[in-house]
Amino acid sequence: MKWDKIAGVRRELKKMAREAMEREYIFSVTFACMMNLIPWMVHKFLGSHWAVGIISSTIRRCGFAGLSIPLLCFSLRIILRNMLIVLPISIFVQQNMRVGAQDSLYQIFWAEEIRPLDFIRFGFRRYWHNFSGMMMVNIRVFLWSLLFIVPGIIKHYEYWLTPYLLVENPELTPKDAMEFSARLTKGYKWDLFLFDLSFWYWHLLGLLTFGIARVLFVQPYYYLAKSGWHIYLFRMADELSDADINAYRAQNAERNGKR
């Protein structure tokens, strides 16, 4: 039955992810951190706590009665200045860093040769190609989310393979990569959702350890296991045979080595 098969795939992917972490622990943790580095920076420098902190500090120093317009404008200028610095980085850098980090973790998962700066090579070698593809995905997911949260979640899983396809198949246009991802994930979006849900207790462990376990184990474990779905979706969608999958991986490894 399909459900037994999917459960077996989940167990196998998690087992392979743990083995991959044992082989390349430092790289696994580093690349997993790269996935969330800039979002953390945005939260740190533009989050509500930071912004409110500046305004609150100004009010405490001057009091409500003595709060002057120039002083308030100065606080707002600090916030706007950081927005002008951090937001462009979030938009124009994070997308490609995420593409590079995801593909690097994919290489680690399949025991491919990996180098320290591979996430930059994978993500930024074809900058506009990867950037435009990820922006198209984000915009489409956002627009579907406006209809209610569920359509956005569905589209998130529908286009989940796009970053892998952008890197490994540069001849594909961003639109083609999205359509190919939609074809491969057809009928398996619920399985991908359940796979993510199966990590809930690991994410809870990350919260209980104040983020320490999240950084050192949960994130790399989750992203490595998730990257394994790339090839398995080819197999389960009957797109490729096992022999074709091995040839596909070898071809992409050779192509990535030349870049």
Task: Name the more confident of 189 and 69.
Answer: 189
Q: Is residue 75 part of a domain?
A: no
- Per-residue model confidence (pLDDT) at position 42: 61
Which domain does 229 fall in, by range?
2-36+94-258
Structure tokens at 197: 């849900």
Question: Mean pLDDT, the chain, as a whole number?
Answer: 79
Q: Is residue 82 part of a domain?
A: no
Contact (CB, 8 A) for 61 and 248: no
Q: Tell me how many domains the chain contains.
A: 1
Task: Name the more confident of 116 and 16.
Answer: 16
What is the average per-residue pLDDT within 94-110? 88
User: Residue 32's closest CA among 100, 84, 96, 81?
Assistant: 100
Q: Is residue 24 part of a domain?
A: yes
Q: Is residue 69 part of a domain?
A: no
Q: Is residue 205 part of a domain?
A: yes
Q: Is residue 49 part of a domain?
A: no
Q: How confident is the model at residue 169 (pLDDT cuts 50, 70, 90)?
A: confident
Q: Is residue 63 part of a domain?
A: no
What CA–CA distance (Å, rounded) separates 214 from 3?
A: 29
- Per-residue model confidence (pLDDT) at position 118: 80
User: Residue 98's closest CA among 143, 133, 146, 150?
Assistant: 133
Residue 96 has pLDDT above 70, yes or no: yes
Segment 103-155, tens digit of pLDDT: 889 889 988 877 777 878 888 888 999 999 999 999 999 999 998 889 999 99
Q: Is residue 57 part of a domain?
A: no
User: What's the whole-model pTM score?
Assistant: 0.76
